[in-house]
Amino acid sequence: MLILSAAALMCGCEKSPAPFASGTMETAETLVSSEISGKITELRVEEGDEIEAGKVVGKIDDTQFRLQMKNLQAQISALKSSSPEVAVQLSALEERLAKQRTEKARTERLLAAKSANKKTLDDIVSEIIYLERTIAAKKSTLDKSVLEIAGKIRALSAQIEICEDNIKKSEIINPVSGTVLVKYAEQNEVAAFSSPIYKIGDLKEMRLRAYFSAADISRLKIGQKLAVVADFGEDQTRRYDGVLIWVASQSEFTPKGIRTRSERADLVYAAKIAVKNDGYLKIGQYAEVECPDEK
C-alpha cells in the first residue's frame, strides 16, 4: 500500500527513463559586419573579449570618402561663385527705366503746357515698355539660372552627406554588450561591404533550446519556471533555474540526437528556456529539462 502511495506522488514523466525534454545551450548572437568596403586599418577585438555596446573597436580606411567630399565642396564653392547676382545685373536697366519714367512725367507736364510735342512723349513711352520687357526677360533668365545652380548645389550637398555617412560607418562600433565568440577578419585585410568581422554573444544569459512533445508542451506556459540539468560528462551535472521564454507556433520533426519523453514522438515543439550562466555553461552544451511538479 505504501509503495502505491509513493508511486502516485511521482511525476508522470518519471515513468520513462527519458528526460522530460532535452536540447543544447545557445545564446543570442550578433554578427558584426562591415558597412563599407575598404582596408581595415584598426581592429581591437579578440575572441573571448567582453565588450560593451557602443564601443569603437576598429576602423576602415575612409581616405577616398574624405577626398571625394573635398572635391564636392570645391564644386559647390565654384557654383556659388558663378551664381548671378540678379539685383546687380539688373541695376543699370532699372536706372534707365527710372530715368525714363521721370522724363515721361516731365514731358507730360510740358505737353499740357503746350511746350512739347506728342511724338516726344510717344518715344519715351515706347522706351519704357522696351525696358520693362527687357528687365522682365532678363530677370526670368537670371532667376532660372539661380534655381538651376541651387539645384546642383543641393545635389552635391546630398553627395557630401553620403560621404559623411560613409565616414561615420568607417568606424566599427560594437552594437551589443557581450563576449566575442568568433573573429573573422584581421587588421590590414580588405573588407567587402557586409563581410563579417566578428560574432558577439551574451554569455551571461544562456538559452536552452529544447524540444517537447505535443502532450508535454500543453502543460507549459510562457514565464513558467523549469529546472535545467546541464551535462558536464562523466556523470557530472549542474542544476540551474530556468524560465520558459518562447515556444514555437508550429511543430516539427524531432531533430536527430534529441530525446523526448516518448521516443516514438515524431512531431515536437521547439522551446527556449532562459538560464543565468554561472560561467560553466557553454554554447552547444547538452542539457535536459526536469519534469515540472504537477499542480
- Predicted confidence at residue 113, as pLDDT, reads 84
- Predicted confidence at residue 233, as pLDDT, reads 83
Whether 29 contacts 181, CB under 8 Å: yes
Phi, psi of 66 (to 5 degrees): -70, -40
- Predicted confidence at residue 129, as pLDDT, reads 94
State whether CATH 2.40.30.170 applies to domain 13-28+202-289: yes
Q: Is the dihedral of CA 49, 53, 55, 59 positive or negative?
A: positive
Check: pTM over 0.75? Answer yes or no.
no
- Predicted confidence at residue 10, as pLDDT, reads 36
Instruction: Using 50 as the pLDDT threshold, list the residues of the chain that sit under it.
Output: 1-18, 264, 295
- Predicted confidence at residue 294, as pLDDT, reads 55
Per-residue cell: 116: 512739347
CATH architecture of 29-60+172-201: Beta Barrel (2.40)
- Predicted confidence at residue 132, as pLDDT, reads 92
> Burial code of 105-124, b = ≥16 C-beta within 10 A, e = fewer?
eebeeeeeeeeeeeeebeeb
- Predicted confidence at residue 169, as pLDDT, reads 97
- Whole-angstrom Cα distance, residue 109 to residue 102? 11
Q: Is 288 exposed, middle or buried (0-12, 13-18, 19+ CB in 10 A)?
A: buried
Reported as a single tens digit per residue, the pLDDT across 131-142 is: 999 999 999 999
